[in-house]
Amino acid sequence: MTEPRKLQVGIRNVNFGDQVTIVEPVNLYGCDIGEGCFIGPFVEIQKSVRIGRRTKVQSHAFICELVTIGADCFIGHGVMFVNDLFQDGGPAGGDVSKWKSTTIGNHVSIGSNATILPVNICDHVVIGAGSVVTKNISEPGVYVGNPARKLR
């Protein structure tokens, strides 16, 4: 029996603002995390992600490459960001040209276990727990469901 190849990431090549709190274990690499942010345990934030000031990311969240999150946001437990839409019927793998970006505005709250596909979400939006955001949101409000629709 052969030993598996083990890759350890932890925290590498991260630009931190002042007064950031991290609860380990986490995987953070090649990202920018703004001042006063909170990052909970079991979170992965991949390279080139930018997180604005005072944003809170709760446990078990996954923030993939090509995601930008504004200031004063809340990312609930188990929120998943997706950058691959399987446009050719399967995963793009390492073909970064097929990945899409996501931009989250300021003062956005995303409830636990929501899934965010490559979209743009404007400022002052609440995404309900378990919702799946499949389209851009350009109007402030509360959005829920699968696919997420404006509730109010």
Looking at residue 32, its amino acid is D
Q: Is 77 a catalytic residue?
A: yes
Tokens representing 77 are: 């437990």
- How deeply is 64 buried, as exposed, middle or buried, from its count of CB atoms within 10 A (0-12, 13-18, 19+)? buried
Catalytic member of 60, 77, 107, 124: 77
Report the distance separating Cα 31 and Cα 50, nearest Å. 6
The greatest distance separating any two alpha carbons of the chain, rounded to the nearest whole angstrom, comes to: 57
| Catalytic residue set | 77
